[in-house]
Structure 1
Amino acid sequence: MPELQRLRRDHAAALLAFERENRAYFAQTIPDRGDDYFAGFDARHAELLAAQEAGLDHFHLIVDSDGEVLGRVNLVAVTTDGTAELGYRIAERATRRGLATSAVRQICVLAATAYGLTTLRAETTLDNAGSRAVLTRAGFVPTGEEVVLSGQPGLAYVRDLSDVREAAARETAAP
C-alpha cells in the first residue's frame, strides 16, 4: 500500500526517476520544469530540504512498497498566519486509483495537526477535471477567484482546516 512520506535526502534518486519518467505526462497539464531542473537536481533537492528544515515548506512523496515514487504532495509558501499553498502530482501509471484524493486528505490532517496550519490554498486549470474533483473530495471549495496558470484559465480553491483540527482533538480525547 502506498505511503505518504516526508521528503528526505535518501529520496533523491527515486524522486528524480519519477520526474524523468513522467515529464511528458506532466507537461500536458502544467509547465515543463525544463532541462535545468534535471541538470541541477541534486542542488535543488538540497534547497528543498533546507526550506523544509526552516519550516518554509513541507514536501511529501507517495511511495510504494518497493520505494518507487508514485506522486508528490507539497505545502509551500507557509505563512506565519498558518496558510500554505497545496500542490500535487501523480505518476501517469498511478492515476485514477484514488491516490491523489487519499494523499491530499492525509496532507490536510498533517497540515492541521503536525504543522499547525489553519488554511490551505490550491489552484488548478478549468480543463483539469481530475484535479478539480480531487480538491472537492478533499474539502476544498472554489473561492470564485479566477486565475491564469500557464496561460490557461483556472480557479483558486481554499480549505479551512478547523474541522480537521477538531476531529483530531476528538480522536485524541476519546478513551
Structure 2
Amino acid sequence: MDIRLEPLRQEDAGRLYAFEAENRAFFETAVPGRGDDYYRYEVFLGRLGDLLEEQAAGASRFFLIKDEGNRILGRMNLTGIDAENGTAELGYRIGKAHGGKGVATLALLELLQLAGGFGVRRIFAKTTTANIGSSKVLEKNGFVHTGTDDREFVMNNQTMRFTHYEWRYQ
C-alpha cells in the first residue's frame, strides 16, 4: 500500500469535512463524539482554522494520511508538543473503509521518522482496553505499554479503561 502523510492545510477543508462526516458513526464507536455542531460546515471551518493556527505556532503537527489517488484515509497528529522536554502526544483515526489494512501502522512509522525534526524524542499515546487494533499498531511501531488506568468507564454500552503507551527516539 502506497500512503503518505501530508501536513494539514486549509485547501483540504472540503475533503476533510466529507471524510469526517462519512466516518462519524464509525469513529464514535471508539472515541467520544465531537458533538453535532462540529458537523456544521461553518463550525468545522472554524475549528480547522484553530488547528492550523496551533500548527503554525509549533504547538502541534496535524497530518492527513493520503493514498496515491490523493484520497484521505485518516488523520495522524502530534499535539501538546513541548520543545523543552521533547515530548508530544499522539492521536490518529483511520476511516472505516481503510481499517485493518496496515494504514495506521505505515503512517505511524512515517510520523516517527518525522518526529525528530519537530524536536520530539518521546511520544505518549493512549487508547482503550477495547481498542485492540490501536494497541497493536502502537506496539508494532515500538511503543511500550506503560500502564492501564484503574478507573473504568462505559462507552457505547461497553466497560473499558484507558491504557497508556510511550515511544522514545532511539
Per the alignment, residue 157 of structure 2 pairs with none
**Following TM superposition, by how much is the alpha carbon of 1:158 offset from its aligned partner in structure 2, in angstroms?**
0.3
Q: Are 2:147 and 2:163, in contact at CA under 8 Å, matched by a contact in 1?
A: yes
Given that 1:147 and 1:156 are in contact with CA atoms closer than 8 Å, whether structure 2 keeps it comes out as no
Alpha-carbon shift at residue 154 of structure 1 (Å): 1.8
Residue of 131, 136, 150 corresponding to 1:128 = 131
Residue in structure 1 matched with residue 110 of structure 2 by the alignment: 106
Identity of aligned residues (%): 40
Query: Which range is displaced more, 53-62 or 142-151?
Result: 142-151
- RMSD (Å) for aligned C-alpha atoms: 1.5
1:46 Cα deviation from its structure 2 partner: 0.7
Q: Tell me, yes or no, if the aligned pair for 2:148 and 2:161 is still in contact at 8 Å.
A: no
Quick check: 2:145–2:165 contact (8 Å CA) kept in 1?
yes
Cα offset for 1:63?
1.3
Q: Distance in 2 between matches of 1:145 and 1:78?
A: 23
Deviation at 1:35, TM superposition (A): 1.1
1:95-174 mapped onto 2 (5 Å cutoff): 95-112=99-116, 114-146=117-149, 151=154, 152-161=160-169, 163=170
Q: Measured at CA, do residues 92 and 141 of structure 1 come closer, stay the same or move farther in structure 2, by a change above 3 Å?
A: same
Aligned residue pairs total 161
Pick which of 43-52 and 65-74 moved more. Answer: 65-74
Confirm or deny: 8 A CA contact 2:89 2:123 kept in the other structure.
yes
Unaligned runs of 5+ in 2: 155-159
TM-score normalised to structure 1 length: 0.87
CA distance in 2, matches of 1:68, 1:42: 19
Match of 1:75 in 2: 78
Q: Distance in 1 between matches of 2:66 and 2:152?
A: 28
Q: 1:67 deviation in Å? A: 2.6
Q: Which of 87, 98, 101 is equivalent to 1:94?
A: 98
